[in-house]
A and B are shown apart, each in its own frame.
Chain A
Amino acid sequence: MKDHLRRMKALIVKEFVQILRDPSSLMIAFVLPVILLFLYGYGVSLDAREVKLGVAVQDQGKEADHLAAAFLASPYFRAHLSRDERILEQELMAGRLRGLVVIPEDFSRQVEKGAGLGRLQVIADGSETNTANYVQNYAQGVVATWWAMRQRDHAVDKQSGPQLLTRIWFNPELESRNSLIPGALAIIMAIIGTLLTALVVAREWERGTMEALMATPVAIAELIIGKLIPYFILGMLAMLGSVAISVVLFDLPFRGSLPALLLSSGAFLLAALGQGLLISSAAKNQFIAAMVAMITGFLPAFLLSGFIFEIASMPPMVRALTHIIPARYLVTNLQTLFLVGDVWPLLLPNVFILLLLAAVLFFLTARKTVKRLR
């Protein structure tokens, strides 16, 4: 037993020395996360801000002015007012505007008469479907808010019927960054767990050190644990650093607790490391290891984790596939921890599934790795 522990310790120490000496490991563990976070924090945003919108005010009435003012005040639009619809239409065609709101001539009269909004028109540039949707939804939102305010100011209008009041919970500003960054954290950990681990083992094969190790009394379990522990610690450190950056630099709320965070990411990291070690038991050069890790680790974490693309809107086959993607469970847990809090009934089953996936991967790794060259 004493021999086992000493050999394991020697391997772990060796691994840490290598990590510290080899800039590429440190880059992957600490620089890449920062770049990714900045990318998702500042670069990528799924929100439309200050969409350029034309507002054609054909009506000279008071209500029309009020509505136009509401568009001007909206943070979602940069509104350009004009009396002449045709000028704005040309701008829209030239791509300088993304949408157009037409307030028709009789708008104020209709409103004052209590006949609703009349022929108020919203035109969106359908060549960019996402933006078109935003234009449509946010324009309706602006109108609805204005309408609600007006109703309140003019006492309750009995003809207006029931009102729908929308409240968005957890991420009230619908800030996409708040849900993207937890997803980015999952990607970062998938890279460290799977890619880095597969790479460093493949490197040992390439340099012939694995062959030399295997001819010593070291046991397979010691070799596996000797890789596992250093990269587990590295992954956890990278994760904690990234969470700190997210909270301090990007003002993300963190409503969960540290133990819940450690538990969720620890369970995920085990699965990711298991995957990396399984890859390395088959791929014995760095190029193949990197390709396999990218295709089976990074891309699924990116595409199938629900981080950017909604799992619910995937075809059933693909949706079924997402169940074996570890990143899926981490994305859910991280989003919950950041935006909601410790919802244990949600977190615990996911942690359990991650541990199960990790166990399966380690079982396969241990079976596939023997102290032989082939």
Chain B
Amino acid sequence: MPAASLVIENLTYSYGKQLPLALAEFSATIRPGIVTGLVGPDGAGKTTLIRLMTALLLPSTGSIKVFGLDTRTDASQLHQIIGYMPQKFGLYEDLSVLQNLRLYADLQNVTGTKRQQVFQRLLTFTGLEPFQGRLAGRLSGGMKQKLGLACALIRKPRLLLLDEPSVGVDPVSRRELWRMVQELVDAETAVIWSTAYLDEAELCQKVLLLDGGRLLFSGSPREMTERVAGRCFQVQGISSNRRQVLSRALQQEGVQDGIVQGQNVRIVLRDGHAQPTLEVLEAGAEARLVPVAPRFEDAYVDALGGGPGGISALAAAMAPLSGDREVTVEAVGLTKRFGDFTAINDVSFAIHRGEIFGLLGPNGAGKSTTFKMMCGLLRPSGGNGRVVGLDLQKAPGKARSRLGYMAQKFSLYGDLSARQNLEFFSGVYGLTGVRQQETVTRMIDIFGLQPHLKDSAKDLPLGFKQRLALACSVMHEPAVLFLDEPTSGVDPLTRREFWTHINGLVERGVTVLVTTHFMDEAEYCDRIGLIYRGQMIASGPPDELKAQTATEQMPDPTLEEAFIAMLQQWDAKNEEAS
């Protein structure tokens, strides 16, 4: 066993006397030769910990020693042996790829012939060789990330620190980066990789799980996953409503966590608790509880104390919408052309009351364009959209007053306080006087916003920001809710809380149209429309789509695999045709 390269002892860090500790009594050792993953929800202290390791922050108490160097006293020697890639990659956008490399080589004291060799190796390694002269600002996210890594690697560091290197980067680039780092790790180098993606964390040889500045788990991902072994089940063959089954399951004391997986409901039991009976879940006569293999995410949520309960206070406070399962949202032959370019070509779908419809597709496929036309924000070149029977072209104002909209970036006013945001949006939706005050107060209670009422929206923790954004979009009790990538960048716990609310609202008769790129979110949808190259190439319930693409080699494809297969089939078919 190689000696530890990093020893953290009783580390505490505070950003100010009034603020809670960012890191508390943190002790860990990290050894070279492996990638150590740093995981935890937003605000857990991951970035603070990495900055403490770079000696850019100094511990309030306790110590960090990197290969024997104390960050408090030996910062200058420490900077000779670390490679650090901060969250925004630390690149000069006005400088070319080669100029960035040269700058960091000079700063890292890499000169002479050695430098030429290093450049050659890194450029080949990252595949940036053809782009040496290109400005860093003009690179794609994935290429920026590789260049950032190359700059951190110029003088082979003994400790490589990567702070969320894959945020905002597409899955293929994420995989390549992972492969590159793996190739670099030799017996002497220690790598610390902080990430919000659990699939990445699962690949690390060791993970440190942080929450609220404390270390909850330290060990291999497999060990962590093992902790929930025997506690994971799927309720299969549900003939009743699966969202209600999930809600009932989550209300059981013994159930730690649960999510919808297509037609099934996955549950994780609390340690030492018996499985709930099927009668309690009211899942129907055919239903059965099947043990399934534990996943890293199950263990993650379990370690963080489980997901939210099954009842949405928001939905409970809302009067159920009357009416049958009539069509509430409808797109008929929607087409959008920008000049010669057809962004959306003849897309049609109909969503019934109390249904969740998901729009999925790769970036640039036309999801957002479709979405904007459905909100009445973009005028279609052909076809039309209707919400609760109102034509978006003829009565956009009236249609919009019946729909709630929550955008990717949480369209909140950052400089207004949480309360001011609630008051503003309730005013925009036409609530006044006593009714407005009552609604605002109710939202504050439901979403637990009391402690943050006076904080500027931009300073809220991400989870609260999301709650506030949802509150703002549902205050007028809309019949239809449009969600545009509502949980991108949000950790799994917050995501579960969000879906509890959405599921609750849907049970009350709200219709939901959602775009997402998280496959586990797509599983919550009743039906999915797959948008690709401006067309809807497939639609149907998640399980049906999976079944369509099942082959002998892949009898039980995941939703992601099913989608990739469909995109490939579509491409192949169109190549033949042309």
Indicate if B512 sits at the interface (CB-CB under 8 A): no
The secondary-structure label for the interface of chain B is: loop
Q: Are B92 and A217 in contact (CB under 8 A)?
A: no
Indicate if B216 sits at the interface (CB-CB under 8 A): no
Given contacts A9-B106, A371-B75, A372-B58, contact A215 B99 (CB under 8 A): no
Given contacts A212-B151, A372-B56, contact A17 B94 (CB under 8 A): yes
The stretch that binds A, out of B76-84, B171-179, B363-371, is B76-84
Given A212-B85, A374-B57, 14 new contacts (CB under 8 A): A7-B109, A21-B94, A21-B135, A22-B94, A209-B90, A212-B90, A215-B54, A215-B84, A217-B107, A217-B108, A217-B109, A218-B79, A371-B55, A371-B79
* Shortest Cβ distance from residue B138 to the other chain A in the assembled complex, whole angstroms: 11
Which residues of A (214-267) have their CB < 8 Å from a CB of B?
Answer: 214-219
- CB < 8 Å neighbour of A371 from B56, B91, B93, B104: B56
Report Cα–Cα, A6/B112, bound state, in Å. Answer: 12
Report Cα–Cα, A11/B99, bound state, in Å. Answer: 11
A-side contacts of B85, CB under 8 Å: 212
Indicate if A35 sits at the interface (CB-CB under 8 A): no
Indicate if A128 sits at the interface (CB-CB under 8 A): no
A-side contacts of B86, CB under 8 Å: 208, 211-212, 215
- CB < 8 Å neighbour of A6 from B58, B76, B79, B106: B106
B-side contacts of A11, CB under 8 Å: 103, 107
Q: Are A209 and B91 in contact (CB under 8 A)?
A: yes
* Shortest Cβ distance from residue B109 to the other chain A in the assembled complex, whole angstroms: 5
Which residues of B (76-125) have their CB < 8 Å from a CB of A?
Answer: 76, 79-80, 82, 84-95, 99, 102-104, 106-109, 111
Q: Are B89 and A208 in contact (CB under 8 A)?
A: yes
Q: Are B56 and A373 in contact (CB under 8 A)?
A: yes
Report Cα–Cα, A21/B56, bound state, in Å. Answer: 30
Which residues of A (315-370) have their CB < 8 Å from a CB of B?
Answer: none
Size of the B side of the interface (Cβ < 8 Å), in residues, is 35
Q: Are A212 and B94 in contact (CB under 8 A)?
A: no
* Shortest Cβ distance from residue B75 to the other chain A in the assembled complex, whole angstroms: 7
- CB < 8 Å neighbour of B90 from A9, A14, A18, A208: A208
15 contacts between A and B (CB under 8 A): A10-B103, A14-B92, A18-B92, A21-B94, A208-B86, A208-B89, A208-B90, A209-B90, A212-B86, A212-B91, A213-B107, A218-B79, A371-B55, A372-B55, A374-B57
A-side contacts of B57, CB under 8 Å: 372-374
A-side contacts of B93, CB under 8 Å: 207
A-side contacts of B102, CB under 8 Å: 10
Given contacts A371-B75, A372-B58, A374-B57, contact A216 B92 (CB under 8 A): no
Can you list the 8 inter-chain pairs with the closest CB atoms, starting with the nearest? Answer: A212-B90, A10-B106, A208-B88, A215-B84, A21-B94, A216-B107, A211-B86, A18-B94
B-side contacts of A173, CB under 8 Å: none
Q: Are B87 and A208 in contact (CB under 8 A)?
A: yes
Report Cα–Cα, A3/B112, bound state, in Å. Answer: 13
B-side contacts of A212, CB under 8 Å: 84-86, 89-91, 151
* Shortest Cβ distance from residue A245 to the other chain B in the assembled complex, whole angstroms: 28
Q: Are B95 and A17 in contact (CB under 8 A)?
A: yes
Closest Cβ neighbor of A13 among chain B residues: B103
Interface flags, A134-174, vs B, CB<8A=1, else 0: 00000000000000000000000000000000000000000
A-side contacts of B109, CB under 8 Å: 3, 6-7, 217
User: Which of B56, B57, B87, B99 has the largest number of chain A CB atoms within 10 A?
Assistant: B56
Closest Cβ neighbor of A206 among chain B residues: B88
A-side contacts of B103, CB under 8 Å: 10-11, 13-14
* Shortest Cβ distance from residue B128 to the other chain A in the assembled complex, whole angstroms: 18
Q: Are A215 and B106 in contact (CB under 8 A)?
A: no
Which residues of A (1-37) have their CB < 8 Å from a CB of B?
Answer: 3, 6-7, 9-11, 13-14, 17-18, 21-22
Closest Cβ neighbor of B96 among chain A residues: A17
Report Cα–Cα, A11/B100, bound state, in Å. Answer: 11
Q: Are B107 and A207 in contact (CB under 8 A)?
A: no
Interface flags, B474-505, vs A, CB<8A=1, else 0: 00000000000000000000000000000000
Indicate if B452 sits at the interface (CB-CB under 8 A): no
Indicate if B270 sits at the interface (CB-CB under 8 A): no
Which residues of A (63-83) have their CB < 8 Å from a CB of B?
Answer: none
Closest Cβ neighbor of B75 among chain A residues: A371
Which residues of A (157-209) have their CB < 8 Å from a CB of B?
Answer: 207-209
A-side contacts of B56, CB under 8 Å: 211, 214-215, 371-373
A-side contacts of B90, CB under 8 Å: 208-209, 211-213
Q: Are B79 and A215 in contact (CB under 8 A)?
A: yes
Report Cα–Cα, A215/B152, bound state, in Å. Answer: 10
A-side contacts of B55, CB under 8 Å: 371-372
Q: Are B89 and A7 in contact (CB under 8 A)?
A: no
Indicate if B51 sits at the interface (CB-CB under 8 A): yes
- CB < 8 Å neighbour of B99 from A3, A17, A207, A218: A17
* Shortest Cβ distance from residue A203 to the other chain B in the assembled complex, whole angstroms: 10
B-side contacts of A18, CB under 8 Å: 92, 94-95
Report Cα–Cα, A300/B239, bound state, in Å. Answer: 77
Q: Are A7 and B91 in contact (CB under 8 A)?
A: no
* Shortest Cβ distance from residue B473 to the other chain A in the assembled complex, whole angstroms: 29
Report Cα–Cα, A31/B106, bound state, in Å. Answer: 33
* Shortest Cβ distance from residue B107 to the other chain A in the assembled complex, whole angstroms: 4
* Shortest Cβ distance from residue B167 to the other chain A in the assembled complex, whole angstroms: 12
Q: Are B135 and A218 in contact (CB under 8 A)?
A: no
Which residues of B (1-43) have their CB < 8 Å from a CB of A?
Answer: 15
B-side contacts of A213, CB under 8 Å: 90, 107
Given contacts A10-B102, A22-B94, contact A218 B89 (CB under 8 A): no
Report Cα–Cα, A10/B108, bound state, in Å. Answer: 11
Which residues of B (376-423) have their CB < 8 Å from a CB of A?
Answer: none
Q: Are A217 and B135 in contact (CB under 8 A)?
A: no
A-side contacts of B87, CB under 8 Å: 208
* Shortest Cβ distance from residue A209 to the other chain B in the assembled complex, whole angstroms: 5
Closest Cβ neighbor of A208 among chain B residues: B88
Q: Are B104 and A216 in contact (CB under 8 A)?
A: yes
User: Which of A7, A18, A214, A374 has the largest number of chain B CB atoms within 10 A?
Assistant: A214
Given contacts A18-B92, A21-B94, contact A217 B84 (CB under 8 A): no
B-side contacts of A22, CB under 8 Å: 94
Q: Are B151 and A7 in contact (CB under 8 A)?
A: no
Q: Are A7 and B88 in contact (CB under 8 A)?
A: no
Report Cα–Cα, A15/B151, bound state, in Å. Answer: 18
Given contacts A215-B79, A217-B80, contact A14 B95 (CB under 8 A): yes
Report Cα–Cα, A3/B93, bound state, in Å. Answer: 25
* Shortest Cβ distance from residue A240 to the other chain B in the assembled complex, whole angstroms: 25
Report Cα–Cα, A162/B533, bound state, in Å. Answer: 97
